Amino acid sequence: MAGYLLRRSLLLVLSLAVAGVVLFALLRLLPGDPANALLSVGATQEQIAAARHELGSDRPLPEQFAAWARSMATLDLGRSFVSSLPVASEIAGRLAVTVPLTVLSFLLSVLIAAPAGFVTALRRNTRYGTLLSGLGQLGLAVPVFWIGMLLITVFALRLRWLPAGGFPAGDWSDPAAALTSLALPVLTITLVMSASLIRYVHSAAIDVLDAGYLRTARALGSSLTGAVRRHGLRNAAAPVIPILGAELATTFLGAVVVENVFALPGLGALLVKAFAQHDWPVIQGVLVLSTGAVLVIGFVADLAQRLLDPRLRRTVTGAAA
C-alpha cells in the first residue's frame, strides 16, 4: 500500500503539472489582448504597447511560462490586471460562497441518494421502486439551470418563502441570512446530483442483495437489515466511492452555472467576469484551483476505495510483487 501511495502521489503531482501547462497554453490561444483590461476605448498604439509591456504579454511565451511556473511553485497567483488586488485574496473571498454551496449540496445529496438507492433496489420489482427509479431518470434529463429557474418561480416569486438570488453583503456574519440565500441553490444542485447518485447506489445495492454471502448470512439466521449492515454496506460503498468523488468534483465545477442563475458572488461569477475582462491572472488562478481540487478529490476517493475494499489492496500488492 505504501508503494501504491507513493506512485499515486507522484501521478497526482505530474497531473497537476501537465494541467498547468495545458491551461497556460489554452489561455494564450483565446482571442483578445489582456492589455485591454488596462486601457480605455480609443487607446493609441503607444499606450497599447506600454500596457502589454507592463503586463509582460509582449514577452516570448517561454519567458511568460517560466515566470508563471515560478509563481505557481511559490503559490503566488499574482495580481488582477483590473483591480490590482492579489488573486489569492479575491479567490478566497469567493470560496466563502462556493465551498459551502458545494459541500452542503453534496452532503444533502448523499443523505437522499443512499437510502433511496437501497429502497429502489429492495423494491425493484414493485411499482414503488419503479416510480423512484423513474423520478431519478427524470432528474437526470432536466438541465440544472431549468430546475433553478423553476424553483425561483415557485418558492421566490409565487410563495415568497426564499430569496430569488444574491448573498448578504456581510457574507457569513449573519449565518441565518447566508443559509437562507443558499437554500434554493443547494436544493437545485441536490435534485440533480441525487438523481445521478441514486442510479449508482441502486446498482451497487442490487449486486450486494444478490450476492451469495448475503444469502448465506440470511440462511444462518440474520435478518435482511442485519445482514446488509454487517456484510453489505462496505461492499456496496466500495464501487460508489469513486462516483462520489466524481460527483463532488462535478458539483464544484458546475457551480458556475448555478451561481449565475442565483446571482451568487462565488468562483463562477468571478471566472465569468475575468473572461469578459481578459484578466489572465484571475482566470489562471480560478482554473488552476478548480483543476487541482478535481485531481485531489479523485486522489482521495481512490485511496478511500482501496481502504474499503481489501481486494484492491491485494491486487496492488500482487502487481507490485
| CATH number, domain containing residue 172 | 1.10.3720.10
d(CA 290, CA 253): 7
pLDDT in tens, the chain (321 residues): 677 778 878 888 888 888 888 888 887 777 666 766 666 666 677 777 777 777 777 778 888 888 888 887 787 888 887 788 888 888 888 888 989 999 999 999 889 888 888 777 777 777 766 676 666 666 666 777 788 888 999 999 898 899 888 888 878 888 898 899 999 999 988 888 888 788 888 777 777 777 666 667 767 666 666 666 666 666 667 677 777 887 888 778 777 778 888 988 888 888 888 887 778 888 888 888 888 888 888 888 777 777 766 665 555 444 444
- Which letter, b or e, does each residue of 217-234 get, where b requires 16 or more Cβ atoms within 10 Å of its Cβ? beeeebeeeebbeebbee
Adjacent-strand bridge partners of 79: 86
Alpha helices (H) along the chain: 2-29, 45-55, 61-73, 87-122, 127-141, 144-151, 175-209, 212-219, 224-227, 233-261, 267-277, 280-308, 310-320
DSSP reduced 3-state for 79: strand
**CA 194 to the chain's CA centroid:** 14
Per the domain annotation, does 124 fall within a domain? yes
Per the domain annotation, does 46 fall within a domain? no
- Which letter, b or e, does each residue of 94-131 get, where b requires 16 or more Cβ atoms within 10 Å of its Cβ? beebbebbbebbbebbbebbbebbbbbbbebeeeebee
d(CA 56, CA 232): 59
Per the domain annotation, does 165 fall within a domain? yes
pTM higher than the cut 0.85: no
Per the domain annotation, does 280 fall within a domain? no
Number of domains in the chain: 1
Residues spanned by the domain of 99:
93-257
Per the domain annotation, does 295 fall within a domain? no
Per the domain annotation, does 85 fall within a domain? no
DSSP reduced 3-state for 143: coil
Per the domain annotation, does 143 fall within a domain? yes
Per the domain annotation, does 13 fall within a domain? no
